[in-house]
Structure 1
């Protein structure tokens, strides 16, 4: 399944956010894969961030990562950069952007 998400940076944090993503902990990357993610790409346009996640089941992915210490630490770091954060709660599974059109 593919899920698209929108988050938003706080003004002035663009470079720090991008630098942080050049240093994603290996343990976190391994945990994301173990939780069922096949791919996770983030694009930035100004302060807007667009994520596309290809995973087995997005709800299961969130459940596996929500309380995992390496992810909790990472999300606390990201919260310093973000006005709109990625929701890892059970309600977050419904936070994906709706599909408007897909190439047939």
Structure 2
């Protein structure tokens, strides 16, 4: 599953946030893997952060991280930079499939569907 999230940085914390994400602690990487997260990408536009999380079960991953002391230390540290997540209660753990950003369109998916439809039409014409 792929989940998209949106968070907002505190005013003036853009450079610091990027600096601490240049290399996150190894124990955090391991905690994310243990929680079942395969990949987590972050883009920034001004103070707005856009996250793309790949995992099997996002809710289970967030539950696992909620009880992980490594994640607690990281959240306390990174809270110096992040103002809030755009969810109902301000935390990424609150994001479920219905609250995360839903995908509207993907170029590759449409191109593949168009190609498959063309192959079916070509195969049926013989």
TM-score > 0.5, shorter chain as reference: yes
Greater shift, 57-66 or 93-102, is seen at 93-102
Q: What does residue range 37-76 of structure 1 map to in structure 2 within 5 Å?
A: 37-76=37-76
Give, in angstroms, the shift of residue 77 of structure 1: 1.2
Give, in angstroms, the shift of residue 2 of structure 1: 0.2
Of residues 88, 96, 101, the one that matches 2:100 is: 96
How many residues are treated as equivalent by the alignment?
103
Q: Are the aligned partners of 1:63 and 1:88 in contact in 2 as well (CA < 8 Å)?
A: no
Give, in angstroms, the shift of residue 46 of structure 1: 0.7
Provide the rounded CA distance (Å) in 2 between the counterparts of 1:52 and 1:39.
8
Structure number with the higher helix fraction is 2
- RMSD over aligned CA atoms reads 1.6
Give, in angstroms, the shift of residue 80 of structure 1: 1.3
Provide the rounded CA distance (Å) in 1 between the counterparts of 2:6 and 2:66.
18
Q: Report the 3-state secondary structure (helix = DSSP H, G, I; strand = E; otherwise coil) of the residue aligned with 2:96.
A: helix
Q: TM-score scaled to structure 1, two decimals? A: 0.88
Q: Are the aligned partners of 1:62 and 1:93 in contact in 2 as well (CA < 8 Å)?
A: no
Aligned to 1:28: 28
Rg: which structure is higher? Answer: 2
Structure 2, unaligned runs of 5 or more: 111-126
**Greater relative contact order (Cα < 8 A, sep 6+):** 1
